[in-house]
């Protein structure tokens, strides 16, 4: 069945449906959202299940997708697909991989996610790079899934309740206990901590461990979707944690939230950083690290007090990729040390954080 992607400026890209053709999703505009692109060559199971993509239509720039099918949930970063829709150039419906359990198209249909192939993703990505990320909607067949002129914008509301856990959960064993504030945490953050011999207590985005009087040694603020300034309750919680000098580590959205809690500012990038093999440099040691990234906002380091120092910078555009406090055990990175997908060079940062506990 034929379909189209319409951007907020009226540009239309025609394609062929290979995902869901049902009217099933969240909100008044079930197939609309922010259109963003990812430059990774592989890793679509991990990317599609990454809660940081909630509210977004994902464009994969690598021309072949679906060729290795869909593996089991051990490779997923959450329990379901998080994107609002998927756009690719060429979809492979006959995967070849010994761990494949279903095709990409079957998975998308089962979870009610629309997808289009045959789109000129190079032209689409060029447009997004030149004009910045845009809102858009996917329509299948002759029925418009979006009503009126409005298109869902995930940056206009606090969307953390949609992706965060609803209860307190404990993973692993160990003498040290890390509270993971779940703003849409990827599963590999938990795996990365557990294999280092610590216990992880995952709590909702608006849970304050100080008020609940938990016995814990440090706090990790996770990745997640949307505008960090919308997470007002989480920002206030982190502000209290910093006041108590509790070891705190922020990843991606967590880095932005920590910066806001410290009195800094964040801003929206033109088209964001989404993909693998993204080079950053440790400003202190001058060491380069190849990283996995997925973010649309960045920290304005000039807005932070002199107690903070820039830790990592992006070697492509010079934007901030990490901050740390000069004297206290507070640290944050904009990239993903847990990888999944992508390079694992940044994994040592978990060891560094645990050394603070």
pLDDT in tens, the chain (357 residues): 999 999 999 999 999 999 998 754 444 445 899 999 999 999 999 999 999 999 999 999 999 999 999 999 999 999 999 999 999 999 999 999 999 999 999 999 999 999 999 999 999 999 999 999 999 999 998 655 444 457 999 999 999 999 999 999 999 999 999 999 999 999 999 999 999 999 999 999 999 999 997 899 999 999 999 999 999 999 999 999 999 999 999 999 999 999 999 999 999 999 999 999 999 999 999 999 999 999 999 999 999 999 999 999 999 999 999 999 999 999 999 999 999 999 999 999 999 999 999
Residue 26 has a pLDDT of 41
* Residue 264: strand, helix, or coil: coil
The answer to whether 161 and 55 are in contact (CB under 8 A) is no
Task: Give the separation between CA 117 and CA 75, rounded to whole angstroms.
Answer: 24
CA separation (Å) from 316 to 19, 26, 270, 273, 278?
A: 34, 35, 14, 10, 8
Identify the CA nearest to 75 among candidates 219, 231, 188. 188
Please state the domain extents for the chain: 2-156, 160-354
Residue 24 has a pLDDT of 42
- Say whether 160-354 and 2-156 share the same fold: no
Write down how long the chain is.
357
Task: Give the separation between CA 170 and CA 22, rounded to whole angstroms.
Answer: 36
The CATH class, in words, for 2-156 is alpha beta
Across the chain, the runs of DSSP E, i.e. the strands, are 2-7, 12-17, 32-38, 56-60, 64-65, 85-87, 90-91, 115-117, 134-140, 169-171, 177-181, 199-203, 218-221, 248-251, 265-282, 288-300, 308-314, 320-325, 330-333
Among 145, 273, 295, 336, the active-site one is: 336
Q: Give the H or E element holding residue 130.
A: helix 121-131
Does the annotation count 183 as an active-site position? no
Cis ω before 341 (30° cut-off from 0) = yes
Task: Give the separation between CA 222 and CA 218, rounded to whole angstroms.
Answer: 13
Task: Give the separation between CA 314 and CA 306, rounded to whole angstroms.
Answer: 21
Give 113's Cβ-side CA count (13 Å radius).
24
Per-residue burial over 95-107, b = 16 or more CB atoms within 10 Å of its CB, e = otherwise:
beeeebeebbbbb
Compute φ and ψ for 39, nearest 5 degrees. Answer: -95, 5
> Which residue, chain included where needed, has tokens 């992706």?
163
CA separation (Å) from 256 to 86, 240, 264, 338?
A: 27, 16, 9, 17
The answer to whether 301 and 262 are in contact (CB under 8 A) is no
Residues 86, 90, 93, 96: is their CA dihedral positive or negative?
Answer: negative
Among 252, 273, 295, 321, the active-site one is: 252
CATH 3.40.718.10 at 160-354, yes or no = no
The answer to whether 107 and 71 are in contact (CB under 8 A) is no
Residue 149 has a pLDDT of 56
335 class by beta-carbon count within 10 Å (0-12 exposed, 13-18 middle, 19+ buried) = buried
Task: Give the separation between CA 33 and CA 138, rounded to whole angstroms.
Answer: 9
Identify the CA nearest to 167 among candidates 132, 198, 203. 203
């Amino acid at each position: 069945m034929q379909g189209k992607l319409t951007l907020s400026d009226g540009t239309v890209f025609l394609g062929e449906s290979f995902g869901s053709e049902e009217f099933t999703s969240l909100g008044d505009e079930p197939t609309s959202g922010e259109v963003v692109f990812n430059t990774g060559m592989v890793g679509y199971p991990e990317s599609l299940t990454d809660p940081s993509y909630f509210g977004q239509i994902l464009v994969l720039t690598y021309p072949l997708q679906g060729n290795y099918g869909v593996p089991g949930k051990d490779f997923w970063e959450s329990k379901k697909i998080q994107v609002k829709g998927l756009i690719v150039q060429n979809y492979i419906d006959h995967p070849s991989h010994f761990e494949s359990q279903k095709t990409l198209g079957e998975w998308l249909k089962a979870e009610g996610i629309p997808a289009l192939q045959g789109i000129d993703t190079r032209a689409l990505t060029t447009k997004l790079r030149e004009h910045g990320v845009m809102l858009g909607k996917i329509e299948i067949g002759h029925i418009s899934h979006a009503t009126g002129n409005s298109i869902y914008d995930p940056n206009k509301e606090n969307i953390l309740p949609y992706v965060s856990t609803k209860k307190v959960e404990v993973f692993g064993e160990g003498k040290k206990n890390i509270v993971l504030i779940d703003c849409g945490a990827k599963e590999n953050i938990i795996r990365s901590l557990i294999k280092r011999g610590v216990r992880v207590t995952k709590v909702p985005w608006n849970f304050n461990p100080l008020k609940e009087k938990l016995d814990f040694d440090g706090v990790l603020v996770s990745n997640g979707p949307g505008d960090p300034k919308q997470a007002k309750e989480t920002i206030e919680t982190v502000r209290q944690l910093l006041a108590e000098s509790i070891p705190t580590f922020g990843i991606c959205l967590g880095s932005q939230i920590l910066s806001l809690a410290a009195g800094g500012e964040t801003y929206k990038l033109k088209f964001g950083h989404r993909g693998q093999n993204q080079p950053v440099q440790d400003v202190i040691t001058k060491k380069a690290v190849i990283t996995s990234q997925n973010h649309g906002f960045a920290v304005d380091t000039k807005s932070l007090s002199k107690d903070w120092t820039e830790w990592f910078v992006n070697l492509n555009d010079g934007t901030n990729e990490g901050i740390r406090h000069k004297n206290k055990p507070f640290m944050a990175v904009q990239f993903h040390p847990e990888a999944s997908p992508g390079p694992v060079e940044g994994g040592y940062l978990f060891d560094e954080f645990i050394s603070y506990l």
